[in-house]
């Protein structure tokens, strides 16, 4: 696993999925898992496709949400 090469490849291609990298560099499932935190230290953030929240109390932004107090108005109309 050549970290430098992988780094360059990602910087050139902007938004990739881990699957793309796995295929390009012929890495095993295990190697990809080892690689993840290294990519983060290279300044390449890992964006996990997240849960789809639709209700205030589960909303990831619940704490910063100013609409919360207007519950009856249906804050998440």
Partner 1 sequence: MNKGHDQSQDHESSNTNVLTLDTGQNQNIEISIIGNPNVGKTSLFNILTGAKQYVANWPGVTVEKKVGTFKYKDATFKLVDLPGVYTLSSKSEDEKVAKDYIINKNYEIVILVADALNLESSMFLLLQLLEMNVNIILAINAIDEAKEKGRIIVPSPIIKTLNIPVVLTSARTGEGIDELLEVIYKYSLSKTKSRVKTRIKYPPNIDKFIQSFMELASNYPEIKINYSNYLENNWLPVYFLEFGNEDLNLPKSFLKELETLFDLDNLRAEYTKWKLDFISYLVSSSIINEGIDWSLRDILDHVLTHKVLGILIYIFAMFAVFSLTFNLAQPLSDLLELAFTSAGNYLSKVIPIPWLNSLVVEGVIGGVGGVLVFIPQIFILFFFLGFLEESGYLPRAAFLVDRIARSFGLSGRSFMSIILGFGCNVPAIISTKTIANKKERLALILSLPFASCSAKLPVYILLIGTFFSSNAALVLLLIYLSSIVLVLVSSKFLQRFITQSEDIPFIIELPRFRMPTFKNLAIYTWNRGKHFLQKAGGIILVATIIIWALSFFPNFGQDINSSYAAGIGKVFEPLTKHLGWDWRINTGLVFGIAAKEVVVSSYSTLFNVGEGSLSFALQNVLTPASALALIFFVLAYVPCFATLATIKSETNSWKWPIFTLFYTTVIAYLIANVVFFIGGIFI
CB of 47 to partner 1, least distance (A): 5
CB of 69 to partner 1, least distance (A): 11
Return contacts of 21-29, CB within 8 angstroms, 24+ apart.
25/1, 27/1
**Interface with partner 1 (CB under 8 A):** 1, 3-4, 10-11, 13-19, 21, 29-31, 33-34, 36-41, 43-61, 63-67, 70-77
CB of 9 to partner 1, least distance (A): 10
């Amino acid at each position: 696993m050549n970290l430098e090469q992988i780094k360059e490849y990602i910087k050139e291609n902007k938004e990739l999925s881990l699957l793309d990298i796995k295929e390009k560099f012929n890495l095993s499932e295990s190697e990809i898992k080892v690689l993840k935190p290294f990519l983060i230290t290279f300044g390449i953030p890992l964006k996990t496709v997240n849960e789809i929240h639709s209700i205030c109390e589960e909303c990831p932004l619940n704490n910063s949400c100013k609409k919360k107090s207007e519950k009856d108005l249906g804050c998440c109309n």
